[in-house]
Amino acid sequence: MIHAFEEYNMTTKTTFTLIALTHLVLVCSSPSVSQLDGHRSDLEYIFSITGYEENNWFGKPSAIAIDERHSLIYVADAKQGAIYSFGLNGTPQDYYGTKQDLRCPVGLAVDKEGNLYIAEDAGGPIKVIMSNQEVKNLPLPTDESEEVPKPGRMTVDNEGNLYVVDRLNSRIYVLDKEHKVKFTIGGKGEKKGQFKSLCDVAVDQNGRIYALDSMGTPVQVFDKKGKYLYKFGFRGEGVENIASASAIHVDRLGQVWVTDKGQHCIKIFDRSGTFLKNLLSYGTEPGALLEPIDIEIDRYGRVYVAEENGRRIQVFLLSRPFEPFEPAMGGI
């Protein structure tokens, strides 16, 4: 079947249409500008990925990861029990599933060498698909006083350390490049440095660790050694509040991006926790969101958003990728 899709040139900021024989499934729409405050456009819609091939739509996207070294987008599909890879322009590249004994992937991370880390809903060891396609298992140590860890969301910092969310015990494991545990953060509770329902983790360029809690104070911040520093955000409805936190990412400017699955939007804060911006809103059309579940931003200023019930990955371009957002004045 012939498919048409839009390709965006970031240098000239122009679009052109490609017609090709392919199984790629993309939303065929010209990039739209998201007008977020009536005057300023912050994100420009580029394209959407809705499946790996014809008649193979995403069932339930659960996590994404970007391999900038190899120019790949990884998408975990919890319902299909698979992980798909795409080029940065959306072209399908590879598929991991039953051959790698995948059932319900819920967490992804990729390191600088291109090794892919996969966490599954049922728990068990983290699967590592090495850059040479060898598959290894990476178990997390078990404390006799706690239940066996259930790995979830993960991230890798600039030094190659791996940060793993233990969904069951609301704890973050920090592993070095040799996958030895350096330290852990948190545990279940309501005190500083503890979590009610830990769901994601991010690290900034200075090594600060940002933990996302879907049921407690949304964001808690720790130094690179795991010492508690401060917290910010409030649970609830409204422009500055977070109803249902689902993912966190810290961009190169130190701004904290949080996807709000309940309000179908993205909240942006500065590193101190000051609210800056509320991006996008509910909808199924290109440039709108339906239950955003994960977010990544690459060094070119492209923003990748996975939608659980929207069943797609949308790719946007920051209009000013090297300029920080200004604090909101009187709400948005």
- The predicted structure's pLDDT at residue 59: 97
- What global pTM score does this model have? 0.89
| Helix ranges, 76-155 (H) | none
Of 269, 189, 176, nearest to 224 (Cα)?
Answer: 176
In a domain, residue 173? The reply is yes
- The predicted structure's pLDDT at residue 36: 37
In a domain, residue 298? The reply is yes
SS3 108: strand
In a domain, residue 111? The reply is yes
Biggest CA–CA distance in the chain, Å, is: 59
In a domain, residue 99? The reply is yes
In a domain, residue 323? The reply is no
Could you please report the per-residue DSSP string of 167-206?
TTTTEEEEE-TT--EEEEEE-BSSSTT-BSSEEEEEE-TT
- The predicted structure's pLDDT at residue 255: 98
How many Å from the N-terminal Cα to the C-terminal Cα in the chain? 43
290's tokens: 């339906």
In a domain, residue 122? The reply is yes
Domains identified in the chain, total number: 1
| Helix ranges, 112-255 (H) | none
- The predicted structure's pLDDT at residue 26: 52
In a domain, residue 305? The reply is yes
What is the domain range of residue 123?
2-318
71's tokens: 């120019």
* CATH number reported for the structural domain that contains residue 290 in this entry: 2.120.10.30
Q: Are 251 and 301 in contact (CB under 8 A)?
A: no
In a domain, residue 326? The reply is no
- The predicted structure's pLDDT at residue 37: 38
Q: What is the mean pLDDT of each run of 10 residues along the chain (332 residues)?
A: 38 37 43 38 95 92 98 98 97 93 97 97 95 94 84 98 98 97 97 98 98 98 99 96 98 98 98 97 98 97 98 97 82 44
Interacting residues of 210 by C-beta distance below 8 A, sequence separation 6+: 201, 202, 203, 204, 219, 220, 221, 248, 250, 256
